[in-house]
Amino acid sequence: MTHAAPYDLAVAYRIYPGVSKIPPYHADNKYKMSELCLRSFKASLGTLKVKIWALLDGCPPEYEALFREIFADDTLEVLNLDKLGNLKTFSMQIDILAEQTDAELVYFAEDDYFYLPGALTKMVDFIRANKDADFVSPYDHPDAYDTAFKVERHFIRPFGDRYWRSAGFTCLTFLTTRATLIRTKGIFRTFCYKNWDYSVWIALTRKLSLADLRIYWHDIHHLKIWVKTFMYGTPRLLFGRYHRLWMPLPSLSTHMESTRLAVLEDWPTHFADFERNKERVPAKNETW
């Protein structure tokens, strides 16, 4: 007899105190930006039961205190790491989420994403209701509109209060199942060996589009993506199954990079409104 997992979602949330891009809000204070994003993440969970691993990579003590303020002790595991860097902490996320048995749904989270309230609830509802949803991103990536990737063809599906679009790529913040992660962790692990996130996703989602000259011969950057996809993903391209990635329209989250905010939403207003009303964000034992 099998027993249901005790949680709806397992999350590995990695965070470090540095700034690698120019954020659109609190650009001069990573802690304040991190607090904004983490509180918005908590608000995105709604009534979901969540187990969370916090990967604090070289963070001062106030970051752990922030997580412990927001999440209940029995749902939180804090890992204080000694400046391992982006590649090693992503590898740790893979291991944690593939090996845990607390939830069948798993979420890779990065510290520079802002979420709309209820965002993760809507993503979980979508992946549960759609058998062809192997991966779900919260972020409607601007590259789908303003680079050569805009010539790709997509499926569009209404669900809940959003349309959802199939996509060829996203970043490294995404939802999937533990079973799918175990099946695909080999190609994800290539990111830890200097592959790019673009080419990881394309090896999973876009086998046929690799022959589309309008995309990959467009400029040197896209050509490098094409080359890396074959360098690291040839076995999967030849023998792996096709996976489908979906993202919401309009976006449920945005990457906190000032030049790559998700389209169709007034994010500066969302940031200011959320921070002004952050006392409404539920305490660690409450839901939104």
| pLDDT tens-place values along the chain, 288 residues long | 455 789 999 999 999 999 878 999 999 999 999 999 999 999 999 999 999 999 999 999 999 999 999 999 999 999 999 999 999 999 999 999 999 999 999 999 999 999 999 999 999 999 999 999 999 999 999 988 887 778 888 899 999 999 999 998 899 999 999 999 999 999 999 999 989 898 999 999 977 677 677 877 788 888 888 888 888 878 777 777 889 999 999 999 999 999 999 999 999 999 999 998 865 565 565 555
Cβ contact 177:127 at 8 Å? yes
| C-alpha dihedral sign at 174, 115, 74, 69 | positive
pLDDT for res 286: 59
pLDDT for res 1: 44
Structure tokens at 201: 């996703």
Whole-angstrom distance, CA of residue 150 vs CA of residue 144 = 5
Cβ contact 59:15 at 8 Å? yes
Q: Which residue has the tokens 């891009």?
A: 21
Whole-angstrom distance, CA of residue 12 vs CA of residue 57 = 13
Q: At what angle do helices 220-239 and 197-205 cross, to 10 degrees?
A: 40
